Amino acid sequence: MNAPAPDPLLGVLSADGPSSRYPHRIATFGRLVGRWAVTSTRREREGADWEDVVFTWTVGYILDGRGVQDVAVVDDDAVPGGVRTVSTTVRVYDPLLGAWRVSYLEPERGEYAQLIASAHRDGIRQDGTRSDDKLIRWNFSGITGERYLWDSWVSDDEGASWWLQAHNEGRRLA
């Protein structure tokens, strides 16, 4: 039996490492490249019950090392291959802006977001809007070689107040 041919899209999309043009800027998200076991708790709206989710988060360099893309998958015996793709995020450094442009896509739930990101304290701050035009803020914090924390905040009142929508804890697998 012959092995399947390599996917031509992945061959040109993925990169072996970060671009040397902006090494410090690329390291902002580049330090997350790898595979992570993630425990997450989230809720749909303020005051709703929390839902626990466990998933694998894989992050790799793309576009000649000028960006990173991640994919979140959950174990699911009901689908071929035993895993279901949940979401993907594309993060590309924009040297004219001096920050990262972030696009989040989660088709099954109909969640989409556009954000701008930059290094912030011990992590990364991402501010933007989701597809329902609500303001969102995603914060990575406590990033080390082995772990990270991530929080998703939502504002229902144009930024006057914020409520915690999700909290993730990641542990590096590879």
Predicted confidence (pLDDT) at residue 3 exceeds the cutoff of 90:
no
Radius of gyration of the chain (CA): 17
- What pLDDT does 2 receive? 60
Domain architecture of the chain: domains with CATH: 8-172 (2.40.128.20)
Report the candidate in 32, 70, 53 with the shortest Cα–Cα distance to residue 148.
32
Instruction: Decide: helix, strand or coil at residue 65.
Output: helix
Q: Which of the four pLDDT bands, split at 50, 70 and 90, describes residue 118?
A: very high
Residue 93's nearest CA partner among 122, 53, 70, 61 is 61
Q: Spell out the alpha helix ranges (H) of 14-169.
A: 23-30
- Are the CB atoms for 37 and 24 separated by under 8 Å? no
What gap in Å lies between CA 124 and CA 141, rounded to an integer?
7
In order of 45, 70, 98, 108, the CA distances from 88 in angstroms are 22, 5, 23, 12
Q: State pLDDT tens for residues 43-98.
A: 999 999 999 999 999 999 999 999 999 999 999 988 888 889 999 999 999 999 99
Q: Which comes out higher in pLDDT, residue 6 or 82?
A: 82
pLDDT for 12 equals: 84
Mean pLDDT, the chain, whole residue set: 94
Average pLDDT over residues 148-159: 98
The pLDDT of residue 4 is 62
At residue 1 the predicted structure's pLDDT band, cuts being 50, 70 and 90, is low
Can you give the length of the chain in residues? 174
pTM above 0.85, yes or no: yes
H helices of the chain, in order, are 8-13, 23-30
Contact (CB, 8 A) for 142 and 152:
no
Give the Cα-Cα-Cα angle 36, 41, 47 (nearest 5 degrees).
160
- Quick one: pLDDT at residue 8? 79
